[in-house]
């Protein structure tokens, strides 16, 4: 790996690890999420934020950008509760992510938090790779 690639990867990880006050999340999905890097399980994110809205038909609508390259959307996402601490997120009957209550490892230590993890066509121009917590 070149020095530039290593520097860029380190910069991305550290930009996701910002010290902020923790507000308790009630476990509901609608809201605004910010990237929070857990270096043990998160690959490089494609966005810094993600907004989720509940639509009238019981599905969810995701809005996100790709680091300022434009606003993108995913619609028709279902959240199926598989346990008291886990929701599976599906789009067109395909698993694209999870919303789970578990340990989050950061530079500030380990905390129990609700975390949103989404991976949908990350290799495409409008794809999404995200791990974060509610603001």
Per-residue model confidence as pLDDT tens digits over 52-78:
999 988 899 999 998 888 899 999 999
pLDDT one-digit tens code per residue, 83-116: 999 999 999 999 999 999 988 887 778 889 999 9
* pLDDT score for 130: 93
What is the share, in percent, of the chain residues with pLDDT greater than 90? 50
Q: Is the pLDDT of residue 24 over 90?
A: no
Q: If DSSP states are collapsed to H, E and C, what string results for the chain?
A: CCHHHHHHHHHHHHHHCCCCCCCCCCCCCCEEEEECCCCCCCCCCCCCEEEEEECCCCCEEEEEECCCCCEEEEEEEEEEEEECCEEEEEECCEEEEEEEEEEEEECCEEEEEEEEEEEECCCCCCCEEEEEEEC
Q: If you average pLDDT over every residue of the chain, what do you get?
A: 82
| Global confidence as pTM | 0.77
């Amino acid at each position: 790996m070149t020095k530039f690639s290593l520097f860029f990867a380190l910069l991305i990880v550290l930009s996701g690890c910002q010290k902020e006050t923790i507000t308790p999340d009630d476990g509901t999905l609608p809201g605004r999420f910010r990237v929070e890097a857990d270096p043990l399980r998160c690959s490089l994110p494609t966005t810094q934020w993600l907004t989720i809205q509940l639509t009238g038909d019981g599905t969810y609508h995701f809005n996100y950008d790709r680091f300022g390259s434009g606003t993108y959307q995913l619609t028709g996402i279902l959240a199926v509760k598989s346990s008291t601490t886990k929701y599976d997120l599906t789009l067109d009957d395909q698993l694209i992510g999870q919303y789970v209550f578990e340990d989050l490892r950061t530079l500030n230590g380990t905390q129990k938090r609700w975390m949103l993890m989404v991976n949908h066509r990350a290799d495409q121009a409008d794809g999404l790779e995200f791990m974060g917590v509610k603001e």
